[in-house]
Structure 1
């Protein structure tokens, strides 16, 4: 159950950031998303609790990794020197940044979800209500 809650949390956090950016900077977002070949609308167009399971060809670990990679792509684009600096002040993007620091590692071997012993203590961790 914790894993399903975590999956919903990270996907909904990313979806909220995408929706906020679509409203505030649609042209910038379109350009940023075009740089990464991902079915953004198919993956994040609906609330995650609206579907009941994963795509048939993915296990939970690879799905979590994919969401993490997508989120890091968006964060990297927003923190580039040529991105408008006001983007980084959008609350949903700041929430995404904080959630990704807590939920994921990104290193030379790629993106991976943090293990339970590597997560911040529950009282410090962002969580959905």
Structure 2
């Protein structure tokens, strides 16, 4: 079987980079973005509502905000970054995971350094007494 016949038989109609889609109707793409925008706005409005209302049990507000933040991250990943479970998204998921690793290393390392500096720095009143 020739390569061209193989690609035709398996639905491949040309060379596509990882993450690229074959010709998709513009209306369906716009509809996906509009649905994602609507969900993101709904989750944002719900977060502000929960933070500023007395209808929710007060100790549960941080947990509710964390759940809504995770849901909003999921909406952004699926609707805007097009991260799905398909086999062609492996590179996208690996790039996202590597980016998150770098961010956590930078932020975590910064907090670690600041914590050790805070612990090892001499308090100001002791420094003033030593200078006298």
Q: TM-score, normalised by structure 2?
A: 0.31
Q: TM-score, normalised by structure 1?
A: 0.32
Greater relative CO, 1 or 2 (CA 8 Å, sep 6+): 1
**Structure with the bigger percentage of helix:** 2
Larger radius of gyration, structure 1 or 2?
2
